[in-house]
Structure 1
Amino acid sequence: MAHETRVLRPEEWDGWYDHLELAFGGVPEVEEERELYRSLTEVERSLGVWDDGTCVASAGAFTFRVSVPGGALVPAAGVTMVGVTPTHRRRGLLTALMRRQLDDVRAGGEPVAVLTASDPAIYGRFGYGTAAYSLAVDVDTSRVGLRLPPGADGVRIRLVDPQEALAACEAVYAELVPRRPGMTARQPGWERQALLDPAAGRAGRSPLKCVLAEREADGKVVGYARYRVRPEWELSGSAGVVEVQDLDALDPAAYGALWAYVFGIDLTWTVRAHKRPVDDPLLHLVSDVRRAKPRTRDALHVRLVELGAALEARTYGAPLDVVLEVEDAFCPWNAGRWRLTGDAKGATCARTGDPAELALSVAELGSAYLGGVTLTSLAGAGRVTELRPGALAEASRAFASDLAPWLPHGF
């Protein structure tokens, strides 16, 4: 029977998701997590390939808005739930789904698509570029201290119920989104992801804990942290671990006070935090950064779907006027020459017949789009070619962001 590629029907969700679990190793998710993603799935944006009535490949998208340099929130397709059953690999099913999906994203008016990759080697051939990285730390708090910012002693830390504090935490998060590229504005229902805490998935850790940081002067909530404690014991005594899930603050004083709190939790000697921004100020608070064991990995991959609209949606940190020669075999409507003119106030990007000054593919533009990967570094790898002397340095400075892009959570 021929493969059938089409949009998911609501009543098929369980079989579609069963296929995904199989594609990702076959370990069933706990029921609470499965139900969360059932509620978040946008069925009309979910694709599947069926073979004799069984789903054998899939790709979905969430409707997001992603912050870009300049603070604008750009409509973006959050590509997700991509998988192919082991029995149907290397038949072109993934390529067909990516083709259909990007056509749909373009028709829907979203200028960019974003994803987190289980295997980053897969998506470059579809025009995605690695645009943001994340930082992980494991801090030995028995040997590492903190140099707290001025005003940290004027911040009160209050232990609260995570559910009851949700609105206050979301207000802080919303205020931070336009400040840093790569963050997603919270869509309805996504606030539940941060509170997901199934008992079956704790693996010896405590239930989720939450603290609010409040200014003593006026009581305003200026930050929060969510964490779990993993009690551990050695012959010499306690060796517990604090696993920080989220820690966000509106000012340095609150930020320092929150880290001081998690560093000081009794019977623990390690603070573990993953999915942090690569320029996290924590690296400048600790007394010994080596014993924080910082390490990075790729996080957010960006695909420019409508190149002109995407480049016009952000601002640029230095005046820019450059002609780009863009290669894009998978979405040929982007290929060719574009003149990009912009500064801190805005930008225009239009087709041109003028001589090209930089040559690159759409994947390199995706990597540079949020300002965290420089065009100069890509040129050093042979992935950007300078055709006019000085054009590379000018464009690289203009694309750069003061803050590194950061995706706080997966999807």
Structure 2
Amino acid sequence: MTSTDLRTLRPGEWDDWYGKLELAFGESEPPEARALWRELTEFERSVAVRDGEEIVGTAGTLSFRMSVPGGAIVPTGGLTMVSVAATHRRRGILTAMMRRQLDDVRAAGEPLAVLTASEPAIYGRFGYGVAARHVRARIDTARVRLEVPPGTDGVRLRNADPVAALEECEALYARRVPSRPGMLERRPGWERQGVLDPEGWREGASALRCVLAEADGGLRGYARYAVKPEWDAAGPKGTVVVHDLEALDPAAYAALWRFLFGIDLTSAVEAKSRPVDDPLLHMVSDVRRCGLLLRDLLHLRPVEVGAALAARRYAAPVDVVLEVEDSFCPWNTGRWRLTGDASGASCERTGDAAELALGPRELGEAYLGGTSLAALAGAGRVRELRPGALAGAATAFAWPVAPWLPHGF
């Protein structure tokens, strides 16, 4: 950087700092959203870049704990609120903020860093890879039927105020976190993101609604949604907009979707983010009429390769020496012997001959089990140095449940 100053964000600077972020993204948040984001900002982990008195760069890190394959909840730094003023491009500001962020994550003892990208092409050069994807769906409920499992009819549904039901819904969500890689353990305050419902965000839909699924005297699932009414000459053709849905068992899960499919005066269900292996895709009668769109979601990079690979579990026994080249975090460069299985793992430096060669971006993509090392090798991004090493490692890194991030940050 030239003629600029990078320093920790001070509370009195927040409004100006966040305003510059809004300017970069070409939008203004409603007051409710700004108030929540200010509360969630970790000032000691956020930076402002100034050119004189003007803020020209913003970035923050959030202290997360994320589920990884095997169910461990791992400390993770979440990169957020990144912007560079259009007047200050190509001056090294983004690189300086990425350097500061990854050094901060390492100092905090967090072996992983994650982000969601406004433009996915930006962060690969800093070692981030796409670790989780999601599916968007717009389902023609006038033509698509659901096949529900036994027990669905025994689930009781009841309407609830989203805010009043928040505590019990959060308790259910917390039970779900270890079951799927990529889910975040929500710290106090983050639960309010799920019920934030400014009128300016609704795009013609109703206020947020909530339905609870109960069985055996307890909560088994919930869905938060809105209804967007629409009519034409033939009659009503409204849309049910699903914000989030979690359930503990197939019957509760199916009961919630059946309810959403059957809401009066609607003919479509729109879900903006679901896992790529969502069971819903195996319940519908016609997947072609579900309007599926696959998108990148969570980007991840290992900050401490040894600690990161030792924190997760592996679908099959693995014993492989990895040659890692990491120019942006050079402490990761070298050879690492990874040994592990479904019960535990270790990853230590070694002088043994390397068997696979790859970088942090490739490790990030494969880490949560959502991308195959074999696929990356097919793209020339992973090199097999010992015959047979790739197949064994790819099998071990895979995971039976696809990774997914249930909300942005």
**Band the TM-score falls in, shorter-chain normalisation:** over 0.9
Tell me the number of residue pairs that the alignment of Structure 1 and Structure 2 aligns: 408
Q: Aligned Cα RMSD in Å? A: 0.8
Instruction: Determine the structure 2 residue equivalent to 1:283.
Output: 281
Distance (whole Å) between structure 2 residues aligned to residue 104 and residue 60 of structure 1: 10
After TM superposition, the structure 1 = structure 2 runs for residues 45-84 of structure 1, keeping only pairs within 5 Å, are 45-84=45-84
- Residue of structure 1 in register with 2:368 after alignment: 370
- Once the two structures are superposed, residues 103-146 of structure 1 have per-residue CA deviations (whole angstroms, 9 ceiling, x without a partner) of 11111110000000001101000000110000111000000000
Cα distance in 2, alignment partners of residues 202 and 140 from structure 1? 21
- Aligned-pair CA distance for 1:2: 2.6
Structure 2: give runs of 5+ residues left out of the alignment.
none
Measured against aligned partners, the alpha-carbon deviations of 1:326-367 in whole angstroms (never above 9, x if no partner) come to 110100000111000001111110111111100111110000
- What does the per-residue CA deviation read over 1:12-36, in whole Å, with 9 as the maximum and x for residues that have no partner? 00000011001112x2111111111
- Alpha-carbon offset, residue 100 of structure 1: 1.1
Residue 211 in structure 1 maps to residue 219 in structure 2: no
Partner of 1:44: 44
Identity %: 66
Residue in 1 that maps onto 2:321: 323
Q: Classify the secondary structure of the residue corresponding to 1:406.
A: coil
Q: CA deviation at 1:52?
A: 1.4
Task: Report how far residue 368 of structure 1 moved.
Answer: 0.4
Structure 1 residue 200 displacement after superposition: 2.8
Q: SS state of the match for residue 38, structure 1?
A: helix
1:203 CA displacement: 2.3
Other-structure match for 1:312: 310
Q: Counterparts of 2:301 and 2:81 in 1: how far apart (Å)? A: 17
Q: What amino acid does structure 1 have at the position aligned with 2:369? A: G
Choose which of 238, 252, 255 in structure 2 pairs with 1:254.
252
Matched residue, 2:408: 410
Q: Distance in 2 between matches of 1:30 and 1:214?
A: 34
Q: Match for 1:324: what amino acid?
A: L
Paired with 2:361 and 2:265, the residues of 1 have a C-alpha distance of 47
Q: Residues 367-402 of structure 1: CA distance to partner in whole angstroms, max 9, x if unpaired?
A: 000011110111111110111111001000101111
Q: How does 1:184-195 map to 2 (within 5 A)?
A: 184-195=184-195
The DSSP-based 3-state class of the residue aligned with 2:347 is strand
Runs of 4 or more above 4 Å deviation: none
Letter aligned with residue 280 of structure 1: D
Do the aligned partners of 1:15 and 1:54 also contact (CA within 8 Å) in 2?
Answer: no
- Distance in 2 of aligned mates of 1:377 and 1:203: 39
- For the residue of structure 2 that corresponds to 1:242, the secondary structure is strand
CA distance in 1, matches of 2:202, 2:275: 25
Q: CA deviation at 1:51?
A: 1.0
Partner of 1:103: 103
- Match of residue 227 from structure 1: 225
Deviations 1:264-323 (A, max 9, x none): 000000000011000000000101011011111000000100110000000111000000
**1:296 matched residue in structure 2:** 294
Q: Distance in 1 between matches of 2:184 and 2:356?
A: 30
Gaps of 5+ in 1: none
Structure 2 counterpart of 1:390: 388
Name the structure 1 match of 2:112. Answer: 112
Match of 1:237 among 231, 235, 238: 235
Q: In structure 2, what is the equivalent of residue 2 of structure 1?
A: 3
**TM-score of the superposed pair, with normalisation by structure 1:** 0.98
**Structure 2 equivalent of residue 24 of structure 1:** 25
SS in 2 for 1:118: coil
CA distance in 2, matches of 1:245, 1:367: 26
Structure 2 residue aligned with 1:183: 183
Shift of 1:3: 1.0
Instruction: Report the Cα distance in structure 2 between the residues aligned to 1:348 and 1:399, rounded to whole angstroms.
Output: 14
